[in-house]
């Protein structure tokens, strides 16, 4: 079947009507979801696919096969998915699910059972004939990581991972991608035994967020920022991912990972690389990822004796927050009373290259902070000579990239207060996505699913990026293990422990968004 006309606009619109746009076409394909009875499929994957259907971005030849152990039927699978789309999908998407329900089928098998993959193969061939999916397959690993190995081996053994002629076979791998560098390397080896790197799409959903993609647009589609984007003008950068929720029912999982593995190794490191990278030669998957990984190469691993000075970790404690009496981390379900797992971490990273030498990057992430906010704050140096207000320094200029919520970009600068005296006050220039573009914003998974169908790996983590990020994070985890210092504490609903302020050094303070 020929390519469809479905397309995706990767361009940047502006309210004046000038638009830079690239249009790409999606080939027909089948998406096989391993672990299809789980939460991710119901909450994210299928609602996102229906978001694509609503926007006319799915190819006409399209089908989904849910592969899982449970004894479900096509009918019970569809009922569950319809419910998911109603609860979690964008407005009007349930109607798209109803229209496409026949495209969803269920395949029951154990992940380790070879016969289940042989019958999957036969089923996929039948779907190709019936629905025009043209032999193109995407395998989505939405299972716990412990099942990845069996799935990958069976996909390779049955030839399902092979690309033949024009037909593509791709694999999407969910996080966590390992729990340290050794497990990540082992997993990359397993993936590579079945698929070529160009067939592999490692999901970090932060890369699918419009505002994260806008970091590249802001930097490289404009002439005014890039000349200032270096150690000569930037004093420091703060990257914050704060959440007001606690660990909830995920205490058992969180206890094993901590905020460093759950958020910093992946989401914050990815954002950091986009902020700090050099301009790529082109916006292609390898050109972009080559530059991102160079940033990680330029960050050296910590020595254990450096860790108490370069990082702060803490746990939230019981407090009244948002009108509620909330539990401390150690009272959460699945968390031992003597836990030393961090729910908050702040890290000072130095990027040892020409652009960033002497400009520290501060990363912080935490649960039970006062509000949910993700932002990047580029803080500029003060002017060399202060003319106003008897030389009293104003707040430095800050370029703020608001990733979520209240998506936008703001610039803080000093302005003259109207009147006969010369008084300067900080003001803000503010761009808001909602006001400028209106409309609904697609979920990050929509963009990532679409890109995997298009075969565009730009917004996915490459094996070397994942491994480099683990190298840095492992050195932190190792330092914490050897340190005599226990995690600090901070009351739930506050911006972390006091010691985090000292991390920034004199004259700097954490933003309290
Ligand atoms: C996930 C983490 O990757 O990201 C969660 O495992 C976290 O702990 C979530 O809550 C945050 O994602 P978002 O898109 O809500 O910022």
Q: Is residue 509 part of a domain?
A: no
- The pLDDT assigned to 307 comes to 97
Q: What is the pLDDT of residues 85-102, one digit of tens each?
A: 999 999 999 999 999 999
Residue 262, ligand 1, Cβ within 6 A: yes
- The pLDDT assigned to 118 comes to 97
Task: Look at residue 7 and tell me whether its pLDDT is greater than 50.
Answer: no
Q: What is the pLDDT of residues 123-142, one digit of tens each?
A: 999 999 999 999 999 999 99
Task: Look at residue 439 and tell me whether its pLDDT is greater than 90.
Answer: no
Q: What is the extent of the structural domain holding 150? A: 29-207
Q: Which listed residue (96, 107, 205, 267) is catalytic?
A: 267
Q: What is the pLDDT of residues 65-74, one digit of tens each?
A: 999 999 999 9
Asked whether residue 464 falls in the same domain as residue 498, the answer is yes
Give the confidence band of 395 by pLDDT, cuts at 50, 70, 90: confident
And the tokens for 447? 């963009």
Count of domains for the chain = 2
Task: Look at residue 379 and tell me whether its pLDDT is greater than 80.
Answer: yes
Give the confidence band of 406 by pLDDT, cuts at 50, 70, 90: confident
Query: Which of 207, 233, 260 is the C-terminal boundary of a domain?
Result: 207
Residue 267 is among the residues annotated as catalytic for this protein: yes
Q: Is residue 372 part of a domain?
A: yes
CATH of the domain at 166: 3.40.50.720
Q: Which of 173, 205, 245, 254 best tests ligand 1's pocket when mutated (most atoms within 8 Å of CB)?
A: 205
- The pLDDT assigned to 178 comes to 94
Asked whether residue 334 falls in the same domain as residue 401, the answer is yes
Q: What is the pLDDT of residues 261-303, one digit of tens each?
A: 999 999 999 999 999 999 999 999 999 999 999 999 999 999 9
Name the phi and psi angles at 132, rounded to 5: 65, 40
Q: How open is the CA angle 180-451-293, to the nearest 5 degrees? A: 40
Task: Look at residue 12 and tell me whether its pLDDT is greater than 60.
Answer: no
Q: What is the pLDDT of residues 415-427, one digit of tens each?
A: 888 998 888 888 9
Ligand 1 centroid vs 342 CA: distance in angstroms?
16
Q: Which atom of ligand 1 is nearest to the CA of 250?
A: 8
CATH of the domain at 329: 3.30.360.10
Residue 174, ligand 1, Cβ within 6 A: no
Q: What is the pLDDT of residues 138-178, one digit of tens each?
A: 999 999 999 999 999 999 999 999 998 899 999 999 998 99
Q: How far is CA 276 from CA 9, 299, 346, 352, 354, in A?
A: 25, 11, 18, 11, 11
Ligand 1 centroid vs 482 CA: distance in angstroms?
28
Query: Which of 181, 207, 233 is the C-terminal boundary of a domain?
Result: 207
Average pLDDT of the residues in 478-507: 95
Instruction: Give the number of C-alpha atoms closer than 13 A to the C-alpha of residue 322, restricted to the C-beta side.
Output: 12
Ligand 1 centroid vs 372 CA: distance in angstroms?
11
Q: DSSP class of residue 461?
A: B
Q: Which atom of ligand 1 is nearest to the CA of 175?
A: 3
Q: Is residue 17 part of a domain?
A: no
């Amino acid at each position: 079947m020929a390519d469809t006309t479905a397309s995706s606009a990767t361009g940047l619109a502006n309210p004046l009507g000038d638009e830079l746009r690239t249009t790409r076409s999606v080939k027909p394909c089948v998406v096989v979801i391993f672990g299809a009875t789980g939460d991710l499929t119901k909450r994210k994957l299928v609602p996102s696919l229906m978001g694509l259907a609503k926007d006319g971005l799915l190819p006409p030849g399209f089908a989904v096969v849910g592969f899982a152990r449970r004894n479900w039927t096509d009918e019970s699978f569809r009922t569950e998915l319809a419910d998911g789309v109603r609860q979690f999908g964008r407005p009007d998407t349930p109607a798209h699910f109803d229209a496409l329900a026949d495209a969803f089928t269920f395949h029951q098998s154990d992940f380790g059972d070879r016969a289940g993959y042989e019958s999957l193969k036969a089923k996929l061939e039948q779907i190709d004939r019936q629905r025009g999916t043209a032999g193109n397959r995407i395998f989505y690993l939405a299972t716990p990581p412990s099942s990845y190995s069996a799935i990958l081996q069976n996909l390779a053994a049955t030839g399902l991972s092979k690309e033949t002629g024009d037909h593509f076979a791709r694999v999407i791998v969910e996080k966590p991608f390992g729990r340290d560098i050794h497990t990540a390397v082992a997993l990359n080896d397993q993936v590579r035994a079945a698929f070529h790197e160009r067939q592999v799409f490692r999901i970090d959903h932060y890369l699918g967020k419009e505002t994260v993609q806008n970091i590249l647009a802001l930097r490289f589609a404009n002439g005014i920022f890039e000349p200032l984007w270096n150690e000569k003008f930037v004093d420091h950068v703060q990257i914050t991912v704060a959440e007001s929720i606690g660990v909830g029912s995920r205490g058992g999982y969180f206890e094993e990972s901590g905020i460093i593995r759950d958020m910093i190794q992946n989401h914050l490191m990815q954002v950091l690389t986009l902020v700090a990278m050099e301009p790529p030669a082109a916006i292609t998957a390898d050109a972009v990822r080559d530059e991102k990984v160079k940033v990680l190469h330029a960050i050296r691993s910590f020595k254990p004796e450096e860790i108490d000075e370069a990082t702060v970790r803490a746990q939230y404690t019981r407090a009244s927050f948002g009108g509620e009496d909330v539990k401390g981390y150690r009272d959460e379900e699945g968390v031992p009373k003597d836990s030393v797992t961090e729910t908050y971490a702040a890290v000072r990273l130095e990027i040892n290259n020409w652009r960033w030498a002497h400009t520290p990057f501060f990363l912080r992430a935490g649960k039970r902070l006062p509000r949910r906010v993700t932002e990047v704050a580029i803080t500029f140096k003060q002017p060399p000579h202060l003319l106003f207000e008897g030389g009293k320094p104003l707040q430095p200029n800050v370029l703020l990239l608001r990733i979520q919520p209240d998506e936008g970009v703001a610039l803080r600068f000093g302005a003259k207060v109207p009147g006969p005296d010369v008084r300067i006050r900080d003001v803000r220039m503010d761009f808001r996505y909602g006001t400028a573009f209106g409309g609904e914003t697609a979920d990050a998974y929509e963009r990532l699913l679409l890109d995997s169908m298009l075969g565009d790996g730009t917004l996915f983590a490459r094996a070397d990026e994942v491994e480099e990020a683990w190298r840095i994070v492992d050195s932190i985890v190792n330092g914490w293990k050897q340190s005599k210092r226990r995690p600090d504490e901070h009351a739930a609903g506050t911006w972390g422990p006091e010691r985090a302020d000292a991390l920034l050094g004199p004259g700097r303070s954490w933003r309290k968004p």
